[in-house]
Amino acid sequence: MADLHNKVAIVTGGASGIGRASALLMAREGAKVVVADMSERAGRDVVAEIEQAGGIARFQALDVRSDESCAALVAETLRHFGQLDIAFNNAGIFASPSLTEDQGLTLWQQMLEVNLTGVFNCMVHELQAMKAGGGSIINTASVAGIRGTFGAAAYSASKHGVIGLTRSAALEYGKYGVRINALCPGLIETPMTAGPGSGFSEQMINGAVRSTPLRRQGSPEEMAEMVLWLAGPRAAYSTGAHYVVDGGFSA
């Protein structure tokens, strides 16, 4: 496991799914964790769960579409904890599938604004905070960021963009000791893929599972293990890469 004692981590989209699992795991490994999310109630529940287990955490309301909100997230992290070592930029959205011609400009802009510009907004301030002492940034992309996705052109484009942003920034900030990588999950059992308004039908999920060599969905906890590795010292020579964790779906 990774020893994250004396490290401070930000997790965006930390109130549920992969973000929640990653925040809990990093806290168990000793990190002080800032859980950032639009959902205050769910975010504070994660903080309470960390604290009940003996960890240290705080909640920060965040709208990644707002540069001011992202700046406040980093500023408050530095004010409370004095440093920033790890940032997991995980907040994102999905939408019900439709043909490209039917997605419309509004959906296109929403996908880019949250999934891509949101990552950029966070990174700008995280990088400024990490330049002096180094750190690790992990950005959530997707298997949709390395291949086409039927019915999800806008989502796929946004996640391709995350990988390009990750690679470019890694080239620029390696000299400061800042490592930047992308996580590319496959079909993971989270609120984004299950329940009302998720955008995924049971037929879609079953079809994806049949196309996955391991014949199941992944869990948020399995994604968190990769996030933990990328955040910690065992990944010290990894930067500018994207890590596919999809049960073999993209193979």
- By annotation, the residues acting in catalysis are 155
Q: What is the CA radius of gyration of the chain?
A: 17
Q: Which residues in 63-102 are b (16+ Cβ under 10 Å) and which e?
A: bbeebebbebbbebbeeebeebbbbbbbbbbbbebeeeee
Residue type, 205: I
**Structure token pair of residue 196:** 């009302």
Measured between alpha carbons, how far is 87 from 12 in angstroms, rounded to an integer?
8
Residue whose tokens read 């930390």? 14
Give the DSSP per-residue string, 65-93.
Answer: T-HHHHHHHHHHHHHHHS---EEEE----
Residue appearing with tokens 């992969």: 18
CA–CA gap between residue 149 and residue 152 (Å, rounded): 5
**Burial class of residue 165 in the structure, from the number of CB atoms within 10 Å of its CB (0-12 exposed, 13-18 middle, 19+ buried):** buried
Q: Are the C-beta atoms of residues 212 and 174 closer than 8 Å to each other?
A: no
